[in-house]
Amino acid sequence: MVFRVASALLGLLAVPVLAYQTAFTVPPVSSPLNASFTPLGALNVLSATKFTTLVHPAFPNYGVRVKKSNFCDGTIASYTGYIDIEARHLFFYFFESRSDPETDDVIFWTNGGPACSSAIGLFMELGPCRIRDADEGPVYHAESWNSNANIFFVDQPIGAGFSYADYGEYVSTTEEAAKDMAAFVAIFFAHFTKFQGRPFHLSGESYAGRLLPVYAATIYDQNPYLVAAGLAPINVSSVMIGNGMTDAPKTVAGWYEMQCTPASTMPVQSIENCVDMKKKLPRCMKWLKESCQDIFDSINCAAAMGFCMQSFIYPYILLGRDPYDISRLCPGSPDCSDVLEAPIVEYLNRADIQSMLGVDPSRSTFAACAYDVVDAFGGLQGDVMHGSTEYVAGLLERGVRVLIYAGSYDYICSWVSNEAWTLELEWSGHDEFAGQPLRAWVVDGERAGLTRSAGPLTFATIDGGGHMAPYERPKQSLEMVQRWLAYEEL
């Protein structure tokens, strides 16, 4: 496999997927579900040596194990644990805000893949510390997103990071995985009541462009069930997607634009190859639309994606350039991030660190990504080809804000492709949003990127950022998030 997003696409097989709407059975008004429930109350009562188990009668098949795991940044409280769904177990990290954990917003972060560990986001991109050397351990990270927000990092779906299943269980669609996330958030907030009513933001990158709109919609749609069960609703405030794959065909079109036009750099591909690609692009887009969007025909969709990848991905790979940063070559490996992730993988495979985190011994080998899960999502179900633009539209129509941002140098999920689908998105604010010109946004007197905004939708680029923009441009990324949380214009 060359790199993660492409491997999810390449794995498409002839197995159809049926999209369905997650439904919650609302209990009767007189439901006693919350009558005997006593919340745990405060995080500081948790033990540092053993897990405390959280349950709620409204979610009988779910539990949350959590413990203190003060590491990474000694100035704040941090916790780790598992979301238990019968025989499935999702690992998570939680860090309180450096500013005011009693009042600050709550952010949920997940990496992409699918099934790449959110420890990469934590230890390489936007967490309270970074791991540059496995023996040296955590180094304080000043531009962490918990500067003024409480933040979760979740290894999901099952199989990612330290998450595991007892008997090989798994999920293979975004809609399935969304139900687990919605239950987790409900149970956590039910026990730690200080977070109830806080603005809740779902954020992530790459394949999270497919995941997060569905997760946010599922949590939003679950609220009537929570209210009927005597629980406080979750205040789904916004979704923040970085270099996401939300609309796969638009992503494919971006592959041509990025290497054959000066969208971010001077064209990197030969004129001869670009002429050939331009001839193939209409066929690629027509085939994807007819076989993957208008009607999902798994065999033809797989054939269409194979043709498109052969036409646009493979010529790029032969250039030896980084798929996550078009401005640089990728020495020694077609996936440059392997070098950056190596210290994190080594650190999390240390027995003393796993013991401190509370990692289950049955999941003692840590890997950055679980490619069997990638194959389940891509190969068995073709999940990515269903896209999530309609979920985004549904959230916008209900007043949930959406920030689509992209590092300007990312090739695989480019700013070009993300701008394209936001401009075409069908929602009531379409005309106003599409009619806005791109304008510069500025940090400390210097241009940080370009942005367009109307109503609850904002699109932004981060100059010089790649696929993992919070890593390459930490200062600009944090400033963007802080303005977003404060309802300030970029």
Tell me the C-alpha distance between 94 and 107, whole Å.
10
Q: Report residue 338's pLDDT band, with 50, 70 and 90 as the boundaries.
A: low
Q: What is the mean pLDDT of residues 150-155?
A: 95
Tell me the C-alpha distance between 110 and 458, whole Å.
20
Tell me the C-alpha distance between 371 and 226, whole Å.
35
pLDDT at 367 over 50: yes
- Would you state the structure tokens that stand for residue 236, as one six-digit string? 């789904």
Tell me the C-alpha distance between 71 and 340, whole Å.
21
What are the DSSP E strand ranges found in 279-416? 321-322, 325-329, 401-407
Phi, psi of 299 (to 5 degrees): -70, -50
Tell me the C-alpha distance between 135 and 138, whole Å.
9
- Would you state the structure tokens that stand for residue 213, as one six-digit string? 């709109």
Most confident by average pLDDT, 21-35, 307-321, 394-408: 394-408
pLDDT at 449 over 70: yes
Tell me the C-alpha distance between 15 and 487, whole Å.
43
Angle at alpha carbon of residue 238, lines to 235 and 243, rounded to 5°: 150
- Residue 29 makes CB contacts below 8 A (sequence gap 6+) with 228
Tell me the C-alpha distance between 127 and 337, whole Å.
17
pLDDT at 42 over 90: no
pLDDT of residue 378: 58
Q: What are 72-107's pLDDT values in tens digits?
A: 988 899 999 999 988 889 999 999 999 999 999 999
Tell me the C-alpha distance between 246 and 106, whole Å.
23
Phi, psi of 320 (to 5 degrees): 75, 20
Residue 243's Cβ-side half-sphere holds a number of Cα atoms within 13 Å equal to 28
Q: Are 44 and 243 a contacting pair, CB within 8 Å? A: no
pLDDT at 349 over 80: yes
Which comes out higher in pLDDT, residue 25 or 3? 25
Q: What are 286-325's pLDDT values in tens digits?
A: 999 898 888 888 888 888 988 999 999 999 999 999 999 9
Average pLDDT, the chain: 88
Distances (CA, A) of 277 to 261, 274, 311, 313: 12, 5, 6, 10
pLDDT at 24 over 80: no
- Residue 93 makes CB contacts below 8 A (sequence gap 6+) with 69, 78, 79, 80, 118, 119, 122, 127, 152, 153, 154
Q: How many CB atoms lie within 10 A of CB 237?
A: 20
Instruction: Please identify every residue annotated as catalytic.
Output: 206, 410, 467
Tell me the C-alpha distance between 155 and 357, whole Å.
14
Residue 12's Cβ-side half-sphere holds a number of Cα atoms within 13 Å equal to 29
pTM, 2 dp: 0.92
Tell me the C-alpha distance between 396 and 392, whole Å.
6
Q: How many CB atoms lie within 10 A of CB 20?
A: 9
